[in-house]
Chains A and B, each alone.
Chain A
Amino acid sequence: MYLAETKMIDLIKQQFLYKVKANLGFFFSLLAVQSFALLLSVNGIMGMGTGGPYLSINVNAYSNDLIIIFTMVWAFTIAVTLTTKEYRNYDFTFVSNRLTSNLSNILYLGSLALFSSVTAVLTGILLRVILFFSKSDTILSEYYFYISPYELILSIFVITLYILLLSSIGYLAGTIVQLYKPLSVILPVITIGLLIVEGRRLGKISAYEFFVQEPSLFLFTIKTLLVSSILFGCVYLLSNRMEVRK
């Protein structure tokens, strides 16, 4: 028993390290996505102006939100990509079963979540530094300009959880689609359709309220971890039904 367990952990480790090395393209696409979001954010996300007779004021508002959202969508896409045939078959270059393959993928997605949230937050800092040194004719408001080290770590933590959640959704969706291809169309249509219907009928989206409007950090952490674990668990149950190298 002891021997087998060690072997499994070694296997997961091996597969994980292999994934990090083999998929360097993911990191590069993260760079591309975050630079693109940075580029869009440098000009401000919204602007307003007023032209009084003696005083005309132009205000540009900046935010990290776009960078964070881009990173989240990136993570979702990566999670789906990992379930495609090409990537799944990587794992069978090693002695492997569904469990180690899934566990190494989850480990990999978790590390990507942490890494991408760190770079997302740091890109937000880069945005602030760029604005500080450019735009010499503009007055910079001190409100929310500074991010304390505590807020920095809080941001990284929260974004990691959000990304983990989105990755688990993407990973599950990808796996379902691998089981039955036509679902690749049906699944998004049903999901988006239901969201629209719920939004129209009830004027709210419960999934959004459940996570985004949760004011307690502790509850938010529990909720995201629990839901991601359930989703990852579903993937394991589903993929057990797959043939090897399907």
Chain B
Amino acid sequence: MATLGFLPIMIILFIVVGLFFLQRFSHHRGVRFLFSGYLIILLISLITFYLLPDNRLSKINPFTSSINDDVEINKFYEKAIRGQIEQLEDVKVREKWEFEISGDQLKVSEPEEFYTTYLFERKEENDHKVEIFHYASESLVDLLELKDKHNFTISLEDNVLRMKGPDPIQIKIAAFKKDFVINQFSSSKSNDNYLNSFGHLEGNQVIYIRVPKDIEISSPHYIQYVGEE
């Protein structure tokens, strides 16, 4: 904000110095030519603007009207741990795996940079099957249809469950703010001013691992079971 305060002064200086020099050249033909050129560019851009195809525009709104991402995240994990994740409206199964398992031991192996929470759920029976569900709330990945490029890699070999997160994706978004002169008089005032939280774009995710009843699980981390708080 400190720099913004100097802005008007800078503009005034800029204009005064500009005017001083321009007085000498204002009747020069080049100046008129330049100015007409500017007006023509503006007119062309106006016509172009209303003819623009809309396939380049996306429905993503990066602004948030309030910072309630923390609330959303807490709600998501609360529901996830209680096994009620499917009650959340925008949460869907993004990926699904099923592996046969023999023996009574399951070892979890994950790389150091694995950041997704995973929960275990014991089934009622010993069906020698490990079912894994990747639940995710709606995020940029859905909006941009990046699902195929944003997959987890999960495998089960020799009773070792290996999990790897998706390769990182970088997304750049450009968005316009509502002009203050329009916002001042519009009935639906936009308070979309915050750019400081992207939780609604990143989304939340959790991995459910459903294991046979009597299997023994070993993991380098704390083993969290569904329904156990």
Residues of A within 8 A of B (CB): 23-29, 31-33, 35-36, 44-48, 50, 52-65, 68-70, 73-74, 76-78, 81, 119, 122-126, 128-129, 131-132, 135, 137-145, 147, 151, 154-155, 158-159, 162, 212-217, 220
Contacts and interface: CB of A to CB of B under 8 A. Distances in A.
A144 B185 contact: no
Contacts, number: 227
A112 to B, nearest CB: 13
B16 interface: yes
Given A46-B195, A73-B15, A140 B174 contact: yes
B117 to A, nearest CB: 12
A155 B179 contact: yes
Nearest to A158: B181
A138 B49 contact: no
6 contacts: A57-B170, A62-B177, A122-B43, A122-B45, A144-B179, A215-B184
Interface residues of B, number: 71
A132 B52 contact: yes
A155 B182 contact: yes
Nearest to B175: A141
Nearest to B167: A54
Nearest 3 CB-CB pairings of A with B: A25-B26, A141-B175, A25-B22
A25 B22 CA distance: 6
Interface of B: 7-8, 11-12, 14-16, 18-19, 22-23, 25-27, 31-32, 34-35, 38-39, 41-43, 45-46, 48-49, 52, 54, 56-63, 113, 115, 139-141, 144, 150, 165-182, 184-185, 190, 192, 195-196, 198, 201-202
B172 A215 contact: no
A119 B45 CA distance: 12
A129 B48 contact: yes
Given A57-B202, A154-B182, A155-B179, 7 more contacts: A28-B34, A31-B38, A57-B173, A73-B12, A126-B45, A139-B60, A143-B176
